[in-house]
Amino acid sequence: MVKENLYQPFEIDFKEVEEFPKAVYRNNFFKLIYIVDGTGVQYINQYDFNYRKGNLFLITPEDSYSFIIQEKTTFFFLSFNDIYIRPKASKENDWVQRMEYILQNASHRPGCILKNRADKPLIASLVQAIFNEHTFLQIYHVKIIQQIVNTLILVVARNIALKLPKNVKENTGEAVLDILHYIQQNIFEQGKLRSETISQTFGISLTYLGRYFKKQTGETLQQYISNYKLRLIETRLLHSDMRINEIANELNFTDESHLHRIFKKYKGLSPSEYRKKYT
């Protein structure tokens, strides 16, 4: 297992290789990996995915990953830590707070995270712009790269948000995306997840809220909240040393047995069985 270190809030790198170093990597920071060209297989945790040009992967802290290259591949790496995405006091950085929770709890499965087709050429152009600034080092190149990196991370957050509920589409309205961000931010605060509270927060009538959310996402509010909690439980079981009772307390289950019953109902295994089988 190889651990890399990050010495700046973010670091970028372009590499063209015919063979990826034969090691499994695990870092304590985020890493975006864009395939500029080439084909091969990405391995992350216990999954694998055939990659090709235009794929974008998000490696979250403590994910284990490696690549096997089939055709010579040009990688773009963007590494950044939680300090870089942590919200600041300034109002203009409010968007960072909205994306932070999405990135922290992204699915730890393999696969391209670009779910919005319109974003694929956008990501390609952003990566090319970073390459140009990084190569030619013209005046203000550092500040320009930082602005492009901010945009790139925000586009990533949007695509992760889009893939969470099963029926959210590319043209889904901003209002429901705001509700999804709100739920993700407040998933540990039970009082803020009540339909009445969400209704008041967004100025949507309680009766309309349920119909609107179901139409836009294919899930009821409570189904989405429950499914999101199940994903968080999976993440903690697979990628942390948290005890089951600690996970239950964090996610506001009545007790450990309550979490056990819910998890087994949907996953077919108890939390401890699931951890033992997949780690």
The number of C-alpha atoms within 13 Å of 272 and in the hemisphere containing its C-beta is 6
pLDDT confidence band for 57 (50 / 70 / 90): very high
Q: Are 75 and 33 in contact (CB under 8 A)?
A: yes
CATH superfamily of 10-163: Regulatory protein AraC (2.60.120.280)
Q: 2: which DSSP letter?
A: B
Task: Kindly report, residue by residue over 113-161, the tens digit of the pLDDT.
Answer: 887 778 899 999 999 999 999 999 999 999 999 999 989 988 888 777 6
pLDDT confidence band for 170 (50 / 70 / 90): very low
Note the CATH number of domain 174-278: 1.10.10.60
| CA nearest to 60, candidates 7, 22, 99 | 99
> Cα–Cα distance between 145 and 56 in angstroms, integer?
18
pTM of the model: 0.60
Residue 163: its pLDDT value, please? 58
pLDDT confidence band for 92 (50 / 70 / 90): very low
**Per-domain residue ranges of the chain:** 10-163, 174-278
| CA nearest to 186, candidates 145, 229, 219 | 229
Say which residue the tokens 């948000």 belong to.
161
